[in-house]
Amino acid sequence: MNCTKSFLDYLEFEKRYSPHTLEAYHQDIQQYTDYLSVVYNTQDILETQAFHLRSWMVSMHEKKITNRTINRKISALKSFFNFLRKRHGLVSNPTRKLINPKVEKRLPVVVRKEHLDQLLNINRGDLEDFKSLRDKLALEILYNCGLRRSELMQLKALDFDHARRLLKVEGKGKKERWIPVSPALLGQVQKYIVVRNSWLVENGYNPPVELLITDQGQPLYPKWVYNFVKSNLSLVSSVERRSPHIIRHSFATHLSDAGADLNAIKTLLGHASLAATQVYMHNSVEKLKKIYDQAHPKS
């Protein structure tokens, strides 16, 4: 029995995890299996006991791997062994008594609203040009809708409901949510589709089902989106991290700062629990503290 393949199939077809998440789980399990082979001379992960896992955690600490990353890897193995216990008769889960290292809560990095406004209003040349339109639209969708990178990549033209001014998004676990969109953004989408289709015909490309495509007429891929966002954010902001997720953080934080209800933000982001959304409230609280310290005579 290939335990790892069985587990990954379960995550893909039953839990409907994204390819990115599947790859992360696969790597974590493989890294632990490699550790067992080198240190304990066995590749049979079913022989795992708690001391094997504690030893692996210590080795990661010695390599200066962060507690956050260690916790993620242990979480992957906990899910893996739980699956084996429920589906394949494993007697007990060796991760059950593990104590995860403490992790300080990290507030999301946020790009200031005026910097994002500046980014969206950058002169990109001829907005009748496919590439200029695509670049502007990709950034507008990320910030206006707070999408994850994978969600942006899989968007289709039919996901936009122009009559109801809504965007259908398929998030983690294939869960659907609807996000309101402005008439201005819908207008950009319509214009882009016309120019995009004409550009595809001119260049002899077969039109993919995805809305946003590369300069080669292919669907976007993770590295393309990351590099695209990083290079654009570098034009307007000095924040340390400039990934697509930073724009998502900014979307949520700016909503919170403007007084949006936390449950509404949770729904827009597609979070499964309110706990994941509450971090954006912390940013607002920190902002209030700063204002208080600067303005109150007794602070």
Q: What is the chain written as a DSSP string?
A: --HHHHHHHIIIIIS---HHHHHHHHHHHHHHHHHHHHHHS---GGG--HHHHHHHHHHHHHTT--HHHHHHHHHHHHHHHHHHHHHS--S--TTTT--PPP----PPP---HHHHHHHHTS--S-TTSHHHHHHHHHHHHHHHH---HHHHHT-BGGGEETTTTEEEEE-GGG-EEEEE--HHHHHHHHHHHHHHHHHHHHTTPPPPSBSSB-TTS-B--HHHHHHHHHHHHTTT---S--SHHHHHHHHHHHHHHTT--HHHHHHHHT-SSHHHHTHHHHHHHHHHHHHHHHH-TT-
Domain shared by 200 and 270, yes or no: yes
- Quote the tokens at residue 69: 């990353």
Q: Could you give the CA distance from residue 2 to residue 289 in angstroms, rounded to a whole number?
A: 54
274 in any annotated domain:
yes
> Quick one: pLDDT at residue 1?
54
117 in any annotated domain:
yes
Domain shared by 37 and 124, yes or no: no
Domain shared by 130 and 253, yes or no: yes
20 in any annotated domain:
yes
Backbone angles phi, psi at 271, to 5 degrees: -75, 145
Domain shared by 81 and 117, yes or no: no
Domain shared by 62 and 167, yes or no: no
From 42, 69, 87, the end of a domain falls on 87
92 in any annotated domain:
no
pTM: 0.69
239 in any annotated domain:
yes
> Quick one: pLDDT at residue 261?
87
Domain of 250? 113-293
Domain shared by 146 and 29, yes or no: no
> Quick one: pLDDT at residue 173?
80
Domain shared by 119 and 65, yes or no: no
> Quick one: pLDDT at residue 43?
81
80 in any annotated domain:
yes
> Quick one: pLDDT at residue 18?
83
Domain shared by 58 and 152, yes or no: no
100 in any annotated domain:
no
From 72, 87, 102, the end of a domain falls on 87
> Quick one: pLDDT at residue 283?
58
Domain shared by 126 and 263, yes or no: yes
Domain shared by 55 and 127, yes or no: no
Residues of the chain where predicted confidence (pLDDT) is lower than 50: none
Domain shared by 184 and 61, yes or no: no
> Quick one: pLDDT at residue 28?
96
Domain shared by 31 and 155, yes or no: no
Q: How many domains does the chain have?
A: 2
**At 223, which CATH number?**
1.10.443.10
102 in any annotated domain:
no
